[in-house]
A and B are shown apart, each in its own frame.
Chain A
């Protein structure tokens, strides 16, 4: 199975709350400290793929009225998506642990 990095970042960004397109772009940038600056096209391609796979879905609920922009589409994580994200996080955690054991990680 192949989970592309872009996808994982999107799943992470949606884990906390539902977001719309531009909000995702901003959140991904902030998660990676500005390193991963996605363009809308790239983001939406990944979103489209994940929509088809059922990891992400459009949200029926809307946030508070004062923050809402009626026309916007919000996206949320599905249970399947949550599972995928967890699995990937687990995998990375295992790798990080090995790295730490071999003293590759500067942090404790």
Chain B
């Protein structure tokens, strides 16, 4: 029969059926949830009443939902109810099993037999039964507060100790989470890869790609869905009063596609706009530049910016990806970038297509493609390119890795190391507090026994101690969490600036985010802390032998709980020794790094960089003229002892290598050519940098474009190219230059990227023979280097007023910056070790001396019985010394193991370094022995009568 209902009626029915479908789903979910909750109860309980409980929970949830409560409000009470009651059921089950292991169905002692008439007892003993569980817990909480108020120092010390540990862990984990665990802030981040060529030198992780390789991958690859190119460079902005330098990145249109970037306003440029041959003079601004320079004015679009001398039209503003500043490197590919420029505008001498490997690449894999498949695909494309053009593609292999790995891979070791360190600090703190609680529990034994004799359950004190430990953990966690987040803001100030080029720096984001992972971690830490702290006292307090304890004249025997206390003390000391020793190792390695001879003298040297705009300085003569004029002006600045230009300042992260072929020897295959570091310098460079000239001569102004090519080489180059011969006057060639190059001088080797690199051959060319548009100035100053900044700027602007200069810093600061990572690491570890040392020292001293003081009575007896004070003293200290030895031994073994783990970061120090290990052992051992000796000595001096009488 046809449906005659109106559309309105039909829709209403559809709505209600849809609604109840949702309700049915929710009801099913609730019921399943109830099943899961009941599963938490002990098996016997579940067997007897489990089904009924599921029904009741389900009903309760349904009633709450009907009253309009949210899912959260419905589920939370159920969870809380289950956790509390299940816990009690489990405790009851365990107690039943322990008390009477052979009967499983025993009723609790004191309950009447259900067949006999029931006698009723009134009054006192029923107070226990009248209170509910919550009342008892509240009483424990109030009691703990009273205890804390009576001894505020104890509570404060314990909570602060734990808070320090928790805070450090929260902060460290937040960083680990932000850097290692969170994905990059781009859509489909798990499919992003960086595409690169296998590097020629061990100093680099990835080799650059060429435009042709990019085009081929785009055309041929079956695995890579989309690929883009990018390269960051500083660019000159002119047109306002002072020429300004901004951070630009040259990208293909596809770059935006790969990363899923969108325009906030206007548009981003397309592949056609950015490709060589069809390039348009356009530029896209970043959001922060738009805000800083244009105050977010919409009319910025369409305006012109003169970048590197070329006028470009602003076509759009980039929309920053969500949570960019909370991700590693602030988004890495676009972090800190001001301008996006078409890649074809990248300055190259003969155009982008002829420039070879110049660019970085990021791509997105097709869904479901594995990294291995992608690499095989890229390798194939590389081989095809090699077959088609063997000369240019010689030695180049294409490969890729996950983009996330590129960004964070280098920092993993350091971060894990730090996390382990803070974990150890927390452990030490917990052991400390545990010992404090344990000592208190032992003190209260008499009270426990009394209460037990009067009918209180033995579990009452265990419960109280557990509650106290939980309260301590909760307070400390809250406090520590706040401290930790606060410390993160301070961290940004301490941390080294990213860069220094090749030294992998930890890409900590500007704003370390607080997400559910961190909260979960903190919660977990709180639980562990509570368990660790409560465990020892709880173990102790459940077993007092009532009758013995209540005897008149019972004294706390010094052996009470000794085993447990000893174990705790040993653990604490071992942990501290390990942590302090490893920190000492690392700090030592840092010192070693700073003392490695660099080959030059970085003190009192001023540096700055510039790049000449290509359009203005297209002829080599113009470039040479500018630099000559600039150098001459700078040399006249008061305070400047000598000045020179160099292509790349050491430790700036810039530099290059070139292959070379020695004349008279067979020309090697271009792929196998020996490589040398390539520097371009003006005369006086070696004098400015105090690099020793070992033989021959420096460049002079006469070595210019008109004269034959000459070169100064480093000592290791000489030894490698002409072993046993005099290199002066010898000749070699490079693929990049036309004609032979004659050696005119030899200088000492220098370090260029890091203090710890292996010696590489270096060759220097004359600046006026190989004019480049980018260069750096170095000047040796008689006073503080930065004092001549303004004078130097004026000197340069006297030659060309539109030439911006940047990266103005002293060479010493530059060198320091590369060691920032190790120094930062060592600083943090030093702080942790210091904290651990203090905690451990106080803890060890406190507990050991407490234990010894406990023996006062015993010592008194022995003295009274005629033992000599010295003998007793020796015995007590001897025992302590034995424990100390064990602890130190364990700690040293752990330190060696940790040292092996850290050996990736260590330099110049073997993991088994006697000084560090001995130092840690000695310090902590001394503390421990002092803790034994001092109270023991005091006890042995005391009048035996007094000692005996002491309660």
Binding site for B on A (CB under 8 A): 1-6, 20-22, 24-25, 39-45, 47-48, 51-55, 71-73, 75, 78, 80, 83-84, 87-88, 90-91
Of A53, A87, A90, the residue contacting B114 (CB under 8 A) is A53
Q: Are B132 and A83 in contact (CB under 8 A)?
A: no
A52 touches B105 (CB 8 A): yes
Neighbour of B81 across the interface among A2, A39, A48, A88, CB < 8 A: A39
Given contacts A2-B110, A88-B120, 9 further A-B contacts (CB under 8 A): A1-B110, A4-B132, A21-B52, A39-B81, A41-B53, A42-B81, A45-B45, A51-B49, A75-B52
Residue-wise, chain B 103-141 has the 8 Å CB interface mask toward A (1 for contact) of 001010011101101111110011011101100000000
The number of A-B residue pairs with CB atoms under 8 Å apart is 103
A95–B109 alpha-carbon span in the complex (Å): 27
Question: B121 to chain A: which residues have CB within 8 Å?
Answer: 1
| Docked complex Cα distance between A88 and B51 (Å) | 30
Q: Could you tell me which residues of chain B, from 59 to 87, have a CB within 8 Å of some CB in chain A?
A: 59-60, 77-78, 81-82, 84-86
Determine the chain B residues whose CB is within 8 A of the CB of A5 once the complex forms: 130, 132
Give the distance to chain A from B87, nearest Cβ to Cβ, in Å: 10
Contacts of B129 in A (CB 8 A): 2-4
Which residues of chain B have C-beta atoms less than 8 A from A78's C-beta? 114
Contact of B118 among A1, A21, A44, A72 (CB under 8 A): A1
B57 at the interface (CB under 8 A from A): yes
B49: chain A residues at CB < 8 Å are 44, 47-48, 51, 73
Set of chain A residues within 8 Å of B120, measured between Cβ atoms: 1, 87-88, 90-91
Chain A residues, Cβ within 8 Å of B111:
1, 53
Interface residues on B, range: 35 or more
Query: Is B257 part of the contact surface with A, judged by Cβ < 8 Å?
Result: no
**B53, A40: Cβ atoms closer than 8 Å:** yes
What would be 6 A-B contacts, judged by CB atoms less than 8 Å apart?
Answer: A1-B120, A2-B128, A20-B56, A21-B52, A39-B60, A41-B81
Residue contact B132 to A41, C-beta cutoff 8 Å: no
With both beta carbons as reference points, the residue of chain A lying nearest to B129 in the complex is identified as A2
Partner of B56, one of A1, A25, A84: A25
Cα A54 to Cα B60 in complex, Å, equals 27
Indicate the member of A1, A3, A6, A44 with the most B CB atoms within 10 Å.
A44
B51/A73 in contact, CB under 8 A = yes
Q: Is B48's CB within 8 Å of the partner chain A?
A: yes
| Contact yes or no, A71 B55, CB < 8 A | yes
Task: Find the B residue at minimum CB distance from A42.
Answer: B85
State the CA gap A4–B45 with chains docked (Å): 19
Give chain B nearest CB distance to A34 CB in angstroms.
14
A38 to B128, alpha carbons, bound, how many Å? 20
Distance between B347 CB and nearest chain A CB, rounded to angstroms? 73
Check if A48 sits within 8 Å of B45, measured CB to CB: yes
B143 in the interface (beta carbon within 8 A): no
CA distance A4 to B103 in the complex (A): 25
Q: Which residues of A contact B132 (CB under 8 A)?
A: 4-6
Q: Is B703 an interface residue (CB 8 A)?
A: no
Listed from nearest, the 7 A-B pairs whose CB atoms lie closest are: A2-B129, A21-B56, A41-B85, A22-B59, A39-B81, A40-B56, A54-B114
Q: How far is the CA of A47 from the CA of B45 in the complex (A)?
A: 10
Chain A residue contacts of B45, Cβ below 8 A: 45, 48
Closest CB in chain B relative to A25 CB, distance in Å: 6
The answer, yes or no, to whether B36 is at the interface (CB within 8 Å) is: no
Closest A residue, CB atoms, query B82: A41
Partner of A1, one of B60, B85, B89, B119: B119
Q: Let me know if A45 and B57 touch, CB within 8 A.
A: no
Residue of B nearest to A79 (CB): B114
Q: Of all chain A residues, which has the CB nearest B84?
A: A41
* Distance between Cα atoms of A5 and B131 in the complex (Å): 8
List, in ascending order, chain B residues with CB within 8 A of A55's CB.
114
Neighbouring B residues of A84 by C-beta, 8 Å:
118
Minimal Cβ-Cβ distance residue in A for B106: A52
- Interface residue? B486 (CB, 8 A): no
Q: How far is the CB of B45 from chain A (nearest CB, A)?
A: 6
Q: Is B88 among interface residues, defined by CB-CB distance under 8 A? A: yes
Q: Is the CB of A80 within 8 A of B115?
A: yes
- The reply to whether B114 and A44 form a contact with Cβ atoms under 8 Å apart is no
Cβ-defined contact, A45 with B85, below 8 A: yes
A-chain residues with CB within 8 Å of residue B85 when the two chains form the complex: 39, 41-42, 44-45
User: Known: A1-B110, A2-B128. Contact between A22 and B118, CB under 8 A?
Assistant: no
Chain B, residue nearest A75 (CB): B52
Would you call A21 and B115 a contact (CB within 8 A)? Answer: no
Task: Find out whether the CB atom of B114 lies under 8 angstroms from the CB atom of A22.
Answer: no
Judge whether A91 and B122 touch: CB under 8 Å. Answer: yes
Q: Are B55 and A73 in contact (CB under 8 A)?
A: yes
Assess whether A20 is in contact with B118, with CB atoms less than 8 Å apart.
no
Contacts of B112 in A (CB 8 A): 1
List of B residues within 8 angstroms of A52 by Cβ:
48, 105, 107
A74 to B84, CA, bound (A): 25
Enumerate chain B residues within 8 angstroms of A3, measured Cβ to Cβ.
129
Report which of A20, A24, A45, A88 forms a contact with B89, defined as CB distance below 8 A: A45
Alpha-carbon separation in the docked complex, A6 to B135 (Å): 14
Q: Return chain B residues, CB-CB under 8 Å to A25.
A: 56, 59-60
> What separation, in Å, do the CA atoms of A48 and B42 have in the docked complex?
12
Query: With the chains together, A36 CA to B110 CA distance in Å?
Result: 27
**CB–CB B130/A72 < 8 A:** no
Shortest distance between the CB of B522 and any CB in chain A (Å):
27
**Contact in complex: A21, B53 (CB < 8 Å):** yes
Partner of A21, one of B55, B86, B110: B55
B27: min CB distance to chain A, Å: 14
